[in-house]
């Protein structure tokens, strides 16, 4: 993946395919390559040029361990779109990435032709707020949960019970989560966790004019569907789709259905 100096930092990104530009924005603590498993191949096959990136905080992009804001990540995404030829581009984000997309559509509507937000929210939720504080406290006190326990917690919080019914599939997820839980999070991930996301942004989202699609996941504990429906209600003309039998990682649990909804919206 190439690295370019954009918005004052080194930003690691990759572009695949040809056609209209789609930029994919990942959530807290995750690298952009997560999109490669399902979303990038589907979008390229549908005739899009797809860009992924490691958000600031995720190496080899600059970790910015001294701190960052959502506005910084919005500026990074805007700079990448401009670097790749300018907008308007379709921009798709999940979780924190979805909030970045919302704020980008608000701040730079010239760069966003269509916006897709997965597992999103426009205001704080007590569960995610408390989890965030707990994760920061673990880092700051130099504590680390046993990888096996961390994997089980992550599975229960981010996956649908339907995805865990089959013991073999459940074990596959747990193995992935246990492997990723090894080692202390980086200073960049700690900086992402420390960003201020305490404000209610729903009133501001009424000013978004970009055609928008919000996708909620029915069994999402981290961003309950009601929060996505609120975002859809706030953005004029936004469409809301809820996908059953998946949780916060719905784009990995039910990728075919998620991809179909996204592509239908982008191609319309």
Q: pLDDT truncated to tens, each residue of the chain (268 aa)?
A: 799 999 999 999 999 999 999 999 999 999 999 999 999 999 999 999 999 999 999 999 999 999 999 999 999 999 999 999 988 999 999 999 999 999 999 999 999 999 999 999 999 999 899 999 999 999 999 999 999 999 999 999 999 999 999 999 999 999 999 998 878 899 999 999 999 999 999 999 999 999 999 999 999 999 999 999 999 999 999 999 999 999 999 999 999 999 999 999 999 9
User: Looking at domain 3-124+199-267, which CATH architecture does it have?
Assistant: 3-Layer(aba) Sandwich (3.40)
Active site includes 220?
Answer: yes
pTM equals: 0.97
Q: Where in the chain is the domain with CATH 3.40.50.1820?
A: 3-124+199-267
Q: What is the 3-state secondary structure (H, E, C) of the chain?
A: CCEEEECCEEEEEEEECCCCEEEEECCCCCCHHHHHCCHHHHHHHCCCEEEEEECCCCCCCCCCCCCCCHHHHHHHHHHHHHHCCCCCEEEEEECHHHHHHHHHHHHCHHHEEEEEEECCCCCCCHHHHHHHHHHHHHHHCCCCCCHHHHHHHHHHHHCCHHHHCCHHHHHHHHHHHHHHHCCCCCHHHHHHHCCCCCCCCHHHHCCCCCCEEEEEECCCCCCCHHHHHHHHHHCCCCEEEEECCCCCCHHHHCHHHHHHHHHHHHHC
Annotated active-site residue in 30, 61, 95, 163 = 95
Active site includes 95?
Answer: yes
């Amino acid at each position: 993946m190439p690295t370019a100096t954009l918005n004052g930092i080194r930003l690691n990104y990759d572009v695949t395919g040809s056609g209209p530009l789609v930029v994919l924005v990942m959530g807290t603590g995750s690298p952009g390559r997560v999109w490669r498993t399902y979303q990038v191949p589907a979008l390229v096959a549908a005739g899009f040029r797809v860009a992924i990136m490691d958000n600031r905080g995720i190496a080899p992009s600059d970790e910015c361990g001294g701190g960052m804001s959502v506005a910084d990540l919005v500026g990074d995404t805007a700079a990448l779109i401009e670097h790749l030829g300018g907008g308007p581009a379709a921009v798709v984000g999940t979780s924190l990435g979805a909030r970045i997309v919302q704020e980008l559509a608000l701040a730079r509507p010239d760069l966003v032709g269509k916006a897709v937000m997965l597992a999103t929210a426009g205001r704080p939720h007590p569960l995610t707020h408390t989890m965030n504080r707990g994760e920061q406290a673990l880092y700051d006190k130099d504590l680390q949960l046993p990888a096996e326990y961390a994997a089980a917690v992550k599975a229960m919080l981010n996956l649908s019970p339907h995805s865990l019914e089959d013991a073999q599939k459940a074990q596959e997820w747990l193995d992935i989560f246990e492997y990723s839980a090894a080692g202390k999070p980086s200073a960049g991930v700690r900086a992402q966790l420390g960003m201020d996301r305490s404000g209610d942004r729903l009133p501001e989202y009424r000013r978004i004019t970009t055609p928008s699609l919000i996708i909620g996941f029915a069994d999402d504990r981290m961003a309950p569907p009601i929060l996505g429906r609120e975002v859809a209600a706030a953005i004029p003309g936004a469409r809301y789709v809820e996908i059953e039998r998946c949780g916060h990682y719905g784009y990995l649990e039910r990728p075919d259905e998620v991809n179909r909804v996204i592509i239908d919206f982008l191609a319309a």
